[in-house]
Amino acid sequence: MKKEIPVDVEALSSIEGMGPKKIKTLYNELGIKNLSELEKAAREGKIREIKGMGEKTEKKILESIAFARKGKRELLGVILPEAMELKALLEKKVEMISIAGSLRRMKETVGDMDILAFSSQPAEVMDFFTSMENVEAVIAKGETKSSVRLESGIQVDLRIVPKESFGSALQYFTGSKEHNIEVRRIAVRAGCKLNEYGLFKGEKRIAGESEEEVYRALGMDYIPPELRENRGEVEAAMAGKLPHLIEYGDVKGDLQMHTKWSDGANTIEEMVEEARKMGHEFIAITDHVGSLKIAGGMDEDEIRKQMREVEKVNEKYDDIHVFYGVEVNIMKDGSLDMGKSVLKDVDVVVAGIHSGLRMSEEEMTARMIKA
């Protein structure tokens, strides 16, 4: 087996001037594997000590990282696991807690992380929150709201709200803005006032402890966060005609998985066992192949060996099927970084661009079309 290189290639290559060769050099010389380590090395003046790099390189790296963070939106699949880990940590310190914002609405990309909680000891919670190991910087710290930036670069806002207002606050801070405007319009029409503190009839709070209570008081079925975009969901909730959402249990398989054969963290059999626990009926192993060695790209010999391992795994299990696939790089000329003699024997081919990222829109489009 080849030596594994556990580098976050996608994150590092998003920084201007960071191509595969430079990423590999930084890993070999300084052990840099992610953006946080890259930024730390640049700030400490370690990058200028590498041959072919200098102070200008460090300055450019820091400027590019700052620019990327300023308008950064992270993919849901990247930020969600981090959010769930953070929630699990905070759960031990509070009585009630929930993710809010666009992350709770399961938007494809997320700009920051919003968390709501109730605690009888808010000061202790904020002390814990702002001193966690993965906190890179404390942006603001208060009795009911604190903001931090994690080592991953994502900003997290934590709000402590009263128990009696938890539901209305969660509804308010989940959004979307357009959905909230429409729900408040319904409240006004009913002679009420709705805000993060509750639903009020005059001075009396008539709902607010739970979201279900708020929606019910306004004559609606509970609206799942994923639907809260003011695209007809309010009218459907009032008519009792909300659709049933797809749930995790409805997912029958996953057609892209990496293992220790390339840049994954688990064996094929470990992936199969986890998939079985999730109720999957099929998966596809699609490790990196070809010349992208920094991501553990396999050669034809290794591909054939992995195929045989997949065959053995399929013989062992009768309640799940493992398809054999590969993830291949699309080269600058639009060709695939693996021969047809291999590709014709696999079930699934995932093609992606991992190098040659500085092309014009026209060139990149032509490259994709040819592939």
121 falls in which pLDDT band (50, 70, 90)? very high
**So what CATH class is 9-70?**
mainly alpha
Residue bearing the bigger pLDDT, 356 or 331: 331
For residue 69, what pLDDT is reported?
65
Per-residue pLDDT band for 46 (boundaries 50, 70, 90) equals very high
How does residue 128 score in pLDDT terms, banded at 50, 70 and 90? very high
Buried b (16+ CB within 10 A) or exposed e, 261-289: bbbbeeebeebbeebeeeebeebbbbbbb
Ordered by start, the domain boundaries in the chain are 9-70, 74-160, 177-238, 248-370
pLDDT score for 1: 27
Q: What value does the mean pLDDT of the chain take? A: 92
pLDDT tens per residue, range 198-247: 999 999 999 999 999 999 999 999 999 999 999 999 999 999 999 999 98
CATH of 177-238, one of 3.40.50.2000, 3.30.210.10, 3.30.9.10, 3.60.140.10: 3.30.210.10
Banded model confidence at residue 115, pLDDT cuts 50, 70, 90? very high
List Cβ neighbours of 90 (8 Å cut-off, separation of 6 or more).
97, 115, 117, 125, 128, 129, 158
> Side by side, which strands form the sheet with 321-329?
253-257, 282-289, 321-329, 348-352
**Structure confidence by residue, pLDDT tens digits, 174-200:** 999 999 999 999 999 999 999 999 999
The mean pLDDT value for 5-16 works out to 76
Q: Coil, strand, or helix at residue 129?
A: helix
Neighbours of 54 (CB within 10 A): 13
Instruction: Report the pLDDT averaged over residues 147-169.
Output: 94
CATH H superfamily, domain 248-370: Metal-dependent hydrolases (3.20.20.140)
Q: What is the pLDDT of residue 65?
A: 81
Instruction: Please check the confidence at residue 6 and state whether its pLDDT lies above 80.
Output: no
Q: What is the DSSP letter of 336?
A: B
pLDDT at 295: 74
Report d(CA 70, CA 321) in Å as an integer.
Answer: 44
pLDDT (0 to 100) of residue 3: 46
284: helix, strand or coil: strand
pLDDT at 319 over 50: yes
Per-residue pLDDT, 56: 87
- Percentage of residues of the chain with pLDDT beyond 70: 97
* pLDDT for 2: 35
Q: What is the pLDDT of residue 10?
A: 73
**pLDDT at residue 293 above 80?**
no
Task: Let me know if domain 74-160 sits in CATH 3.30.460.10.
Answer: yes
Q: State the pLDDT at residue 291.
A: 82
Which of 155, 151, 162, 124 lies closest to 139 in space, CA to CA? 155
What is residue 70's predicted lDDT score, i.e. its pLDDT? Answer: 62
Query: For residue 364, what pLDDT is reported?
Result: 94
- With a CB cutoff of 8 Å and minimum separation 6, the contacts of 232 are none
